[in-house]
Amino acid sequence: MITTTTPSVEGKRIVEYKGIVFGEVVSGVNFVRDIAASFSNFFGGRSGSYEEELIQARQNAIKEMEQKAASLGANAVVGVDIDYEVLGADNGMLMVTASGTAVTVQ
């Protein structure tokens, strides 16, 4: 599966548009990560635990989007956009959405 943020695939021709596809992941941040992040916040530096959660959520959203495109018979997704949002009363949930247009290229 070719996945790109550009509206086309260099060296390939889009022969069929299959539709817009999404991959969405909502991930909770647990108590242990909150404690580790609070130390990073207090002492300065990066929060490895939050960064890892973000990376995993992004990868899973892209994978889900690609699977939906494949189920439509596409072999590429163009115009990919990744959005991040925090949810929940205490902002304890992270939502990552990957979206793009499923296409067939030759």
pLDDT-based confidence at residue 72 (cuts at 50, 70, 90): very high
41 neighbors 67 (Cβ within 8 angstroms) = no
What is the model's pLDDT at position 31? 44
Give the residue carrying structure tokens 């949002």: 85
pLDDT-based confidence at residue 105 (cuts at 50, 70, 90): very high
- Which tokens belong to 103? 């296409």
69 neighbors 79 (Cβ within 8 angstroms) = no
pTM: 0.82
- Per-residue pLDDT of 49-60, as tens digits, reads 678 888 999 999
56 neighbors 24 (Cβ within 8 angstroms) = no
Beta bridge partners of 17: 103
- Per-residue pLDDT of 74-83, as tens digits, reads 999 999 999 9
- Per-residue pLDDT of 18-51, as tens digits, reads 999 999 999 876 544 554 455 455 455 566 667 8
